[in-house]
Amino acid sequence: MNQTTQNQQTYQHMYPKGSKSAALPPGKEAPDFSLRSTPDQFVTLSDFRGRPVILAFYPADWSPVCGDQMALYNEILSEFQNFGADLLGISVDGAWCHAAFCKDRKLHFPLLADFEPKGAVAQTYGVYRTSDGVSERALFVIDPEGKIHWSYVSPIGVNPGAAGILSALESLQPKEVAK
């Protein structure tokens, strides 16, 4: 059995009750929020107006798929930055857990704690798994004006990769006019 299949089975065992997500679609205003990025600092989405933002909701720190997903985004962070985009990871873990996870994985982007009230931001984006107490593995690209440009919900045990994010960021770039 390959590692991907094994991870999918692990997640299906851990989160058996998941329901179909109703993620906010493109064109909707991205709900603003303020979440802890460290035990004593907050990050507010609206502070990023004028720049694209990637919101990467994930179930939990320290799990195999989540660790791989965040490590991938860390490795290609410069590609996101080439599009002028900021990346924010969001899960229901607390700020102290995120701090330890970031330090261990050497992550260079903020992980935000949607901790209390648990999953409130994930709920506003339509990606909270109430029966499991975690968020979906969901991605949103927010345009510089604060609207959702692209969204995707991956099966919870599958790393969605970065191709969709990069395509969405590319489509936000001004089109060159042929002469």
| DSSP output for 133-148 | TEE-EEEEEE-TTSBE
Mean pLDDT of the chain: 91
Check pLDDT > 90 for residue 146: yes
**What pLDDT does 23 receive?**
95
**What pLDDT does 175 receive?**
79
Delimit the domains of the chain by residue range.
23-171
Q: What mean pLDDT comes out for the span 90-108?
A: 97
**What pLDDT does 19 receive?**
47
- Ramachandran region of residue 119, left (φ > 0), alpha (ψ -120 to 50) or beta? left
CATH 1.20.58.220 fits 23-171, yes or no: no
Output the CA torsion 45→133→111→40 (10° steps).
80
What does pTM read for this prediction? 0.88
Compute the distance between CA of residue 110 and CA of residue 87 in angstroms, rounded to an integer: 7
Task: Indicate which residue of 65, 66, 70, 134 is catalytic.
Answer: 66
Q: What mean pLDDT comes out for the span 136-143?
A: 97
| The residue type at 70 | M
Q: What stretch of H or E contains 89?
A: strand 86-91
Question: Can you tell me which residue has the tokens 């209390």?
Answer: 116
Instruction: Mention every residue, 6+ apart, whose C-beta is less than 8 A from residue 156.
Output: 11, 12, 15, 18, 59, 65, 129, 136, 137
Instruction: Please confirm, yes or no, whether 102 is among the known catalytic residues.
Output: no
